[in-house]
Structure 1
Amino acid sequence: MNKPITPSTYVRNLNVGLIRKLSDFIDPQEGWKKLAVAIKKPSGDDRYNQFHIRRFEALIQTGKSPTSELLFDWGTTNCTVGDLVDLLVQNEFFAPASLLLPDAVPQIVNTLPSREAVTVPQKQMPFSERDRISVIPMQNLEQNYVPPDSTSPENKGLEVGDTRFHSFSFYELKSVTNDFDERPISVGGNKMGEGGFGVVYKGYVNNTTVAVKKLTAMVDIGTEELKQQFDQEIKVMAKCQHENLVKLLGFSSDGDNLCLVYVYMPNGSLLDRLSCLDGTPPLSWHMRCKIAQGAANGISFLHESHHIHRDIKR
């Protein structure tokens, strides 16, 4: 009989099945990188450097879970479940934290449905300070106002076909992504990353690089809920356009999978840049301040438009 898990339980004593469940939550969107960066030595120095992170990342090609390997490695330091849950909560991984210590997760979190925005890992180009800064993904937006009366014209709902976004055929998107090539970009494929609602692929439309997100139903997300998420995102994007928000170019709703097409962001995520992934140069303090200001401008715009972004990624 398994012993109950307490804050003092050693991470190295967690059973393999539970580690796999944690990995299912953290592996998507490269969440394990956030944890690796946050783990410190007793001296306060980073436990994992870029060499370690690349080593964990290479495990993906062998079919292994980087989250599992990270926890196995960190577990050798006698870290506890309490330490792990603290890190998970700090990085807003509330679902896996609740698997370990449900009472340690802030109750307010449980009032909101879980959604994961896709942080797109890419083959980064060197970051230029002249490039556009700080783009906030638009998943997980909640409208924060009382809707008008259901009989009013404002409440009739925006049909997808009424937006100015381009309507792609599913066949077109299969073509521009090499039939949704599942191989990572690093080995010549098109897969950029994946998250709670689907997989993101790199594609080319009229000599323009785009990011194509193919939505996929999951165990806890049915087809109907996925369609609602798809419609909601298009409606919100039609209303909320700003230089510091990622730009939606179009969509596809005629094939086997619903798809959203975004502007491609060649510099990857802020976390990758702060980690100097792939040998990219460190961000200057001037650029960091510009990024912070751009992110604040994007969030302010959303709030002024009565929307709350519940899951901003770095």
Structure 2
Amino acid sequence: MQPITANTEIRHLRSRDRCHLSKILDAGDRWKDLAAIITKPDGEQGLLLTASNIRLLEQQKYIPNGSPTQALLDYWGTKGRKRPVIKDLIDYLIRSELYHAADYIAVNVLNGEAINKCGDGSLNGDNMLQSKLVNGASHFSLVNATTLSSDSLSNLNDDILPQKKSIKQTLFTPTAPNLSTLSIEDNSVCDDVSNILAAYSEIKRYSFSLISQSTKNFAEISVKDGGFKIGEGAFGSVYMSSLPSGEILAVKKLKNDFRNQFLNELKILTKFRHENLLPLLGIACEGTVLCLVYEFMVNGSLLDRIACVDDSSPIAWKNRMNITVKVCDGVCHLHSFDEKPYIHRDIKSANILLDKHLNPKVGDFGLARVGSQAENDITRTSAKTTNIIGTSVYMAPEAFRGDVSVKLDTFSFGVVMLELLTGLSPYDSDRDEPDLLSFVEERILGEFDENEITAEHLQPFIDPKAGQFDIELAFKYFKLSRLATEQRKKNRPTMVQLKELLKNLI
């Protein structure tokens, strides 16, 4: 077998190395950060992957033994006349700040040294994998493109490998705060959890011991199977907890690596109170185990209720309109209550919970971040981020470029509107057009121009489970959902603007 070198094509990575790299990047959807910056091959301008490509890659995680990272490597590794090689992979990993993955390739694949990242975000000059700034852009080069070993260090020229006293070069500087470092007040995460919680002394502390007992020590048995686990997301699992007092709670137990999401939800939910935002009742912590405690929503998620999971009753058309308006109200509150808007970034039917009266509560604020400008100045609501996060079938095209604005939430909300209208899942691998937006484009619009479609064309696609409906009202609702999911951000309304349009509709 040929030795693996820096110039070995990515597609020739050993199977065990691909598997290990996939475990690193699949966790927390870190592969998206890599996918979002890969450029087209052979010097062609632009990014390799479109929003549709990334949506398709994401679906690999729902397939048995599927891996978005493996699929990404397969797709990227066969593109271009000059195929991407391992040094290209490390270059992109470092530019994406995926240092753990870059370390694995450098040490375990190339037998080199780890990427020595310093506290200031720079790379140590002693490292054999050097960062050089070429024409003002970050560029990463592997010396001589040979198999790296400790013996090769002595042969490197000073201009390639600076001495230890050389100035460290910053590889990548984000243009906006990185969500993963977001904290309570000053964007620096405290090491001591107790110090963090001290800033929120007014928050109710629930007994961790009682909650642990009531969930059988957070047993992995679903409610459907007689256990207490309601579901699981990227940041943690949610359990139903019945306390001796008779109080029924929903408890989100955060994964160990997601303390920052805990802080983010704590920060937002103690600041924003609205009838259509899921209220935070308190917290429960023991050591480094962190739990957020919410009101239990007896009707579960909007996603499940639209699908009538567990034979639940269908949602009537009137209630669907009510849910639409109230979710819009809740998101508008996030966008307009403070001087700067808070952008949810993960609006989806699975994150909209329903109480006993089918009143919606928007939850899961782990990805939310502050926008750059007050909502009432709609010409300046954008910022940039280096983290590409969210659920791809709900993500606006600009989200994959790291462009963050209140209009990201508008786009996601428009997809939810289409779910409510059609009763269809946002993604179904059994459909010819798996994601809902593609289904709308191909099946509902078909060969018609956007302005040519009529209410009669739409009628067969309206969810029959919703009961009686006004076809003209449904058609106007559809047109609003299309406006909300406009591909070009400048043509898409803000949620505040959409709220006014909904009022006029109803």
What TM-score, normalized by structure 2, do the two folds share?
0.35
**Counterpart residue number, 2:11:** 12
* Partner amino acid, structure 2, of 1:87: Y
Provide the rounded CA distance (Å) in 2 between the counterparts of 1:32 and 1:143.
24
Provide the rounded CA distance (Å) in 2 between the counterparts of 1:84 and 1:76.
13
SS at match of 1:89: helix
Is residue 2:250 matched to residue 1:250? no
- Identify if the C-alpha distance between structure 1 residues 214 and 51 changes in structure 2 by more than 3 Å, giving closer, same or farther: same
1:96 offset after TM fit, Å? Answer: 0.5
SS at match of 2:34: helix
**Counterpart residue number, 2:202:** 164
**Counterpart residue number, 1:131:** none
**Counterpart residue number, 1:81:** 86
Q: How does 1:175-214 map to 2 (within 5 A)?
A: 190-194=231-235, 199-201=236-238, 212-214=252-254
**Counterpart residue number, 2:347:** 267
Provide the rounded CA distance (Å) in 2 between the counterparts of 1:69 and 1:36.
11
The C-alpha deviation readout for 1:206-231, integer Å capped at 9, x for no partner, is xxx98824335xxxx8xxxx9xx69x
Is residue 2:63 matched to residue 1:65? no
1:16 offset after TM fit, Å? Answer: 1.2
SS at match of 1:44: coil
- The answer to whether the Cα contact below 8 Å between 2:215 and 2:240 also exists between their aligned partners in 1 is no
- The answer to whether the Cα contact below 8 Å between 2:253 and 2:289 also exists between their aligned partners in 1 is no
Is residue 2:118 matched to residue 1:108? yes
1:14 offset after TM fit, Å? Answer: 0.8
1:267 offset after TM fit, Å? Answer: 2.5
Q: How does 1:3-152 map to 2 (within 5 A)?
A: 3-6=3-6, 8-42=7-41, 43-61=44-62, 62-77=64-79, 78-101=83-106, 105=115, 107-108=117-118, 136=179, 142=188
1:284 to 485, 489, 500: 489
**Counterpart residue number, 2:469:** none
Provide the rounded CA distance (Å) in 2 between the counterparts of 1:47 and 1:182.
42
Higher RCO (C-alpha 8 Å, min separation 6): 1
User: Please, which runs of 5 or more residues in structure 1 have no aligned partner?
Assistant: 113-133, 145-155, 184-188, 289-314
Provide the rounded CA distance (Å) in 2 between the counterparts of 1:91 and 1:182.
39
The C-alpha deviation readout for 1:234-276, integer Å capped at 9, x for no partner, is 7xx68xx878xxx976322369964235899452756444147
1:200 offset after TM fit, Å? Answer: 4.9
Provide the rounded CA distance (Å) in 2 between the counterparts of 1:142 and 1:252.
22
Provide the rounded CA distance (Å) in 2 between the counterparts of 1:283 and 1:210.
38
- Identify if the C-alpha distance between structure 1 residues 100 and 204 changes in structure 2 by more than 3 Å, giving closer, same or farther: same
1:95 offset after TM fit, Å? Answer: 0.9
- Identify if the C-alpha distance between structure 1 residues 103 and 249 changes in structure 2 by more than 3 Å, giving closer, same or farther: farther
Identity %: 19
**What CA RMSD, in Å, does the superposition of the two structures yield over aligned residues?**
5.4
Bigger mean CA deviation after superposition, 262-271 or 55-64: 262-271
1:28 offset after TM fit, Å? Answer: 1.6
- Identify if the C-alpha distance between structure 1 residues 286 and 88 changes in structure 2 by more than 3 Å, giving closer, same or farther: farther
- Identify if the C-alpha distance between structure 1 residues 48 and 203 changes in structure 2 by more than 3 Å, giving closer, same or farther: farther
- The answer to whether the Cα contact below 8 Å between 1:178 and 1:190 also exists between their aligned partners in 2 is no
- Identify if the C-alpha distance between structure 1 residues 193 and 262 changes in structure 2 by more than 3 Å, giving closer, same or farther: farther
Provide the rounded CA distance (Å) in 2 between the counterparts of 1:2 and 1:173.
57
What TM-score, normalized by structure 1, do the two folds share?
0.52
**Counterpart residue number, 1:150:** none
1:287 offset after TM fit, Å? Answer: 9.3
Provide the rounded CA distance (Å) in 2 between the counterparts of 1:213 and 1:59.
25
* Partner amino acid, structure 2, of 1:212: K
Provide the rounded CA distance (Å) in 1 between the counterparts of 2:26 and 2:66.
10
- Identify if the C-alpha distance between structure 1 residues 58 and 262 changes in structure 2 by more than 3 Å, giving closer, same or farther: same
1:88 offset after TM fit, Å? Answer: 0.9
Larger Rg: 2
* Partner amino acid, structure 1, of 2:52: F
- The answer to whether the Cα contact below 8 Å between 2:237 and 2:253 also exists between their aligned partners in 1 is yes
User: Please, which runs of 5 or more residues in structure 2 have no aligned partner?
Assistant: 107-111, 123-176, 225-229, 243-248, 273-278, 296-330, 332-343, 349-366, 368-387, 390-394, 401-410, 413-425, 427-436, 438-484, 494-506
Provide the rounded CA distance (Å) in 2 between the counterparts of 1:143 and 1:178.
30
Provide the rounded CA distance (Å) in 2 between the counterparts of 1:161 and 1:81.
46
SS at match of 2:118: helix
SS at match of 2:292: strand
SS at match of 1:59: helix
Provide the rounded CA distance (Å) in 1 between the counterparts of 2:238 and 2:281.
14
1:63 offset after TM fit, Å? Answer: 3.0
